[in-house]
Structure 1
Amino acid sequence: MFFDKPVTKDAKGGAIAIGNFDGVHCGHRRLLIQLKSLAKRTDGPVVVVTFDPPPLRILRPELSPKPLTTHESKCRLLREAGADFVVALRTSHELLQLSAEDFFDQVIVGALGAKGIIEGPNFRFGRDRRGDVDYLHQRCRTLGIEFELAAVEMDSGDWISSTRIRKEIELGAIQAANRLLLQPYRIHGVVGTGARRGRTLGFPTANLDAISVLVPAHGVYAARVSNVEGIEASIAKSAMHQPVALHIGPNPTFGEDAKKVEAHILDFSADLYGASMELELLSEIRGVQKFPSIEALRAQLSKDIQTTREICLAHKSHPVQSLRKELP
């Protein structure tokens, strides 16, 4: 019907939560803990319902922000955080034209057979977003479906939300964003050709193009290779988990204004052209700057590489622990 694939029998009759779940952060983990408790009481699976693509991309594409995760990564993270099933609604004008009543009857009851629902206080659904949690609670009570408001996860006095994390990434505050996420922030792209200037400087780079997620602010970052596909297996294996000094932005030293994403993979020299590569960002290092000479640039790049090594080593000893927190 409205799903990207048929909902299996095992995924029906569960406790559900519906939303975009962009980024899959610590607030989402809190909701999943609560959802798992509800699923135990109602004797059903933990089911997360998400949208592909997010509704705003269909309704107002000019206002739709770049996502924090790909759809595939989002589904994987939700399962790792405790979902038994992640089902995706195929977002279309037909789906978005359903009234709140029809969405409840056809999707929540008809397709999913929900026994319990948890949603946040700002949840809206149905045509023109006319359905809210009060309406949802009323319909659930009528049909004997358990309803709960999602507990809010706070950090430093503010809600943890995808919007908040997006703002941190737009500022280049990767450490602040990572503290709220269930894994270090990742960008995905295809390795293309660049000016090959880095090779002549002694610091060859892989230029990432076609990046589908939000790119952080201009700057230099410590990162690490988290996945490589579409290339010879032995080369991909040798690149995995290698530290990366990542430069995002223009190259003012050479008078270039074009924004580039250039990854210098430490202790690695093979050609990755055409490969699909994913990097996990660990920390910001410095901003983009213009250097008075090539020698000054080389000296700074050497410092950036040493800083990257230290950050990656420290992260290896003290990785992000969010996903390792035990679910009840």
Structure 2
Amino acid sequence: MSRLFRDVDGGSLCPRGSVVCIGAFDGLHLGHRALVGHAVARARALDLPAVALSFEPLPREFFARGNPPPRLTLPRDRIRGLLSLDIDRLGLLRFNEALSAMAAGEFVRRVLAGRLGAREVWIGPEFRFGHRRGGDLALLQAMGRELGFDAGEIAPVHAHGERVSSTRIREALRAGDFAQASLLLGRPYSIGGRVVRGRQLGRTLGFPTANLRFPKTPALSGIYATRVHGAGGRAWPSVSSFGTRPTVDGVEPLLEAHLFDFEGDLYGRHLEVEFVAKLRDEEKFADLDSLTEQMHRDAGEARRILADDARSPHEPARARADDPPKTAARR
């Protein structure tokens, strides 16, 4: 039986009941992990399945289709990340006109109580759901008393005194502050995907690249010192371009990673590109010769940065919650 479900309606997925956590989970940062970890712990204590519930597209994307906000992760990475956190089922509900118009109370009855048989429901700080964001912790608790489940909200998570949120991570990435982004994520920021064939222009210029599509609005763009995971037995030093390639009239965001001194075929392989430092913004060059000259300068700078970074000690991120969850389970 698949652990992933996409639909609001259907038969009961958890006949014995479940513990559910709900969130956007974009980036799966330390706060998200605290929420999922708490739900999993409660599910294990009650001997029930743990369910993570999210949406695709994200509601804020659905309501801003002409100018969608930046995304930290693609759906496949969100799925892979959530499933790795020991949950038993993942709901990635199709967010469409019907779901956007569904009242919060109806969502509770049809999805939380109906499909999932929720015994406990956990959300993050200030989480809202349902039509016009009409659902909150107070509604969950009131309906829980009627339908037989408890509801609670975990406390905000801080890392080195700063509250962890996807918004702050996007701001850090936009500013090229990867140390701060890593602190809030609890790991280096990376983008994963399967290598696809491109126009092979980089190869003709002496810079063959592994190309990963990103069919969403990215949270960053430019030229970066990077490390590629999945190309061999080590993190491979590289220089990467991420954006729309203005010099060659690109459109869809494409992540192009040039692995230093690599020989081999990467087509079809799943890679993770870890961002270490920003070198510069994207820019349009007058001709390919000017572009090639700049690519050599970028490669040299990326090699230097990566060599220095490898010699520097790295402090792991530490996270803490301000307070215990607001609501203790009664059962």
TM-score interval for Structure 1 and Structure 2 normalised by the shorter chain = 0.7 to 0.9
TM-score (norm 2): 0.75
Equivalent residue in structure 2 for 1:69, among 48, 66, 73: 73
Query: Is residue 2:181 matched to residue 1:177?
Result: yes
**Does 1:281 find its partner at 2:274?**
yes
- Report matched runs for 1:288-303 at 5 Å: 288=281, 298=296, 301-303=299-301
What are the superposed Cα offsets for residues 65-116 of structure 1, whole Å, 9 maximum, x if unpaired? 2321122211221122232221221222112222122111111101110000
- 1:257-312 Cα offsets, whole Å, 9 max, x none, are 97974421122134556x4653322410533599999878746633422433554x
Q: Secondary structure at the match of 1:190?
A: coil
Task: Name the counterpart of 2:323.
Answer: none
1:114 maps onto 2:114 in alignment: no
Question: Structure 2 CA distance, aligned partners of 1:70 and 1:139?
Answer: 33
Kept in 1, the 8 Å contact 2:240–2:255? The answer is yes
Q: Is the 8 A contact 1:244 1:263 kept in 2?
A: yes
**Residue in structure 1 matched with residue 199 of structure 2 by the alignment:** 193
Alignment of 1:216-295 (within 5 A): 216-226=220-230, 241-248=235-242, 261-270=255-264, 272=266, 275=268, 278-284=271-277, 286-288=279-281
User: How far apart in 1 are the matches of 2:42 and 2:291?
Assistant: 62
The answer to whether the 8 Å contact 1:175/1:282 transfers is no
**Aligned with 1:61: secondary structure?**
coil
> 1-side partners of 2:53 and 2:149: how far apart?
17
SS at match of 1:136: helix
Whole-Å separation in 1 of the counterparts to 2:125 and 2:35: 12
Offset at 1:64?
Answer: 3.0
1:16: Cα distance to partner?
Answer: 0.5
Q: Which amino acid aligns with 1:301?
A: A
Structure 1 CA distance for aligned equivalents of residues 131 and 86 of structure 2: 30
Task: Choose the corresponding residue for 2:57, options 41, 47, 53.
Answer: 53
SS of 2:239 mapped into structure 1: strand
- Determine helix, strand or coil for the equivalent of 1:175: helix
Between the two proteins, the alignment pairs up a number of residues equal to 306
Query: Paired residue for 1:305?
Result: 303
Contact 1:190 1:211 in 2 (8 A): no
CA contact (8 A) 2:225 2:305 kept: no
User: Which is helix-richer, 1 or 2?
Assistant: 1
Could you tell me how far apart the structure 1 residues matched to 2:294 and 2:101 are?
A: 59
Alignment RMSD (CA, Å)? 3.8
Where in structure 1 do 4 or more consecutive aligned residues deviate above 3 Å?
4-12, 40-43, 188-191, 202-213, 237-241, 247-252, 255-262, 269-273, 275-279, 288-300, 317-322
1:122-181 superposed Cα distances (whole Å, 9 cap, x missing partner): 222222221221111111123331211112101243321111111111222222212222
Using the size of structure 1 for normalisation, the TM-score is: 0.76
What runs of 5+ residues in structure 1 fail to find an aligned partner?
227-236, 323-328
More moved, 143-152 vs 258-267: 258-267
Label 1:177 to 1:296 Cα distance change in 2 as closer, same or farther (>3 A): closer
